[in-house]
Amino acid sequence: MEELRYSPTLSNHLVRRGYDVTLLGYSKSHQDLDAGSLRREYALATSPSLGRFIDRLALPLHVSNLIRNLSSKDCSIVLSIMLHSSLLGYMLARRLRPKCHIVSFSGGDAAISSMTGIWLENMRMDYYLYSKLAITLNNPTSVFIATTKLMKRQMIKAGVKRGRIVVIPRFVEERFFRVDPTESVLEGNDIVYVGRFSEEKGIKILLKAFEIVARKLPDAKLRLIGEGPLLGFILRYVRDKGIQEKVEITGKVPYEAVHTYLTNSTLFVLPSLNEGLPNALIQAMAAGLPIVASKVGSIPEAVRNGIDGLLVKPGSPNELAESIARILKDRELALKLARNAKSSAERYRADYIIEKYTRLFEACSEVSNK
């Protein structure tokens, strides 16, 4: 789930739990959040965006605008989604004096702040310094949320105090659990990838692996859902190899429609070279698809090799092709992996994750009252 989508969806769930929620942000970021299933149930206060760089320098102005636009200035919790919003949250917390300020990290936040992973190849030093400043200011009093155990270790390396970190995964929306791809898992040969078309996602490895699979299983199909800088490369590769009829490039699809593409898929593949725990992976598990993924990052925390899916060495098209072909040839294995994946994904249901947030909020209140 994109971060822009996570904030309003989380806010809606908290409203349904009885919380009084106001989502704060820049107007440019929230201009289309009321579309489709993201119909707003929370209050909304925004400050006009001046551009990413200027917004960082104009934080006091934004804080003043946001507080002026709040219907109520009584606030128990300030929750910053992603590190880049935590300085805004920090300043709001100082003005509103809530019981607790909570900062939720993304995978990129943790990797950049700890100077780890492929993120460093294209990392801007200003983002690194900005993230270190945010950690330094928030470290003494804030609570930090890591979405995986690996992220927690990265956050500790970045300087976040161990005792201030709570592990709470991102949740999967209910519509993914309602998907039933059983017929396709038993009879189809449709491989689906959902994600960014970029180097670190292993797209080039996937295309090479699919060539191998297609030679063994001529009716195999590959569906690529997403967008990114390697789109041109993908189009040229597919054309040069003469596999246009076997590869469907849908491009970016509306977030609300992603689950419909999983219904007619046989297995989900994620050949990343570097990864946290992508939402697309746990969404595919919730939908009941067998998984073939690289053994990198936090993926092994979600996918048990040989139980929920098959984990492969990153960067190996031969190993990736072998695992894909194994599932397509062994339908009993495919169905077992699919059922186990759906069962394992239960721990990412929204109700379960929101309950973790509720317990965290209660713990913050108890500590502040002492």
- How many whole angstroms separate alpha carbon 278 and alpha carbon 81? 16
pLDDT at 118: 47
- Whether 104 and 14 have beta carbons less than 8 Å apart is answered as no
Q: Return the sign of the alpha-carbon dihedral for residues 239, 122, 62, 94.
A: positive
Helices assigned H by DSSP within 148-230: 149-158, 174-177, 182-187, 203-216
Coil, strand or helix: which one is 271? Answer: coil
pLDDT block averages, 10 residues each, the chain of length 370: 71 92 75 53 87 81 88 85 86 89 83 62 66 88 93 91 94 94 94 94 97 96 96 96 94 87 95 89 97 95 96 97 97 97 96 95 72
- Kindly report the backbone phi and psi dihedral angles of residue 349, in degrees, each rounded to the nearest multiple of 5, phi listed first: -65, 145
Residues 6+ apart with CB under 8 A from 251: 225, 226, 227, 231
Q: What is the DSSP letter of 29?
A: G
Other CB atoms within 10 A of residue 16 CB = 13
CATH class held by domain 3-171+349-369? alpha beta
What confidence tens digit (pLDDT) does each residue in 88-99 have?
Answer: 899 999 888 888
pTM of the model: 0.89
Contact residues for 229 (Cβ-Cβ < 8 A; gap 6+): 197, 198, 199
Question: Which amino acid is it at 128?
Answer: Y
pLDDT of residue 117: 54
Pick the CATH number of 174-347 from 1.10.630.10, 3.30.70.1070, 3.40.50.2000, 3.40.640.10: 3.40.50.2000
Q: Which amino acid is at 233?
A: F
Which residue, 277, 270, 290, is CA-closest to 341?
A: 290
149-158 vs 125-138: helix axis angle to the nearest 10? 90
| pLDDT given at position 36 | 43
pLDDT of residue 30: 47
**Predicted pLDDT at 1:** 42
Domain with CATH 3.40.50.2000 in the chain: 3-171+349-369, 174-347
| Distance, CA of 195 to CA of 89 (rounded, Å) | 29
Which of helix, strand or coil describes residue 50?
Answer: coil
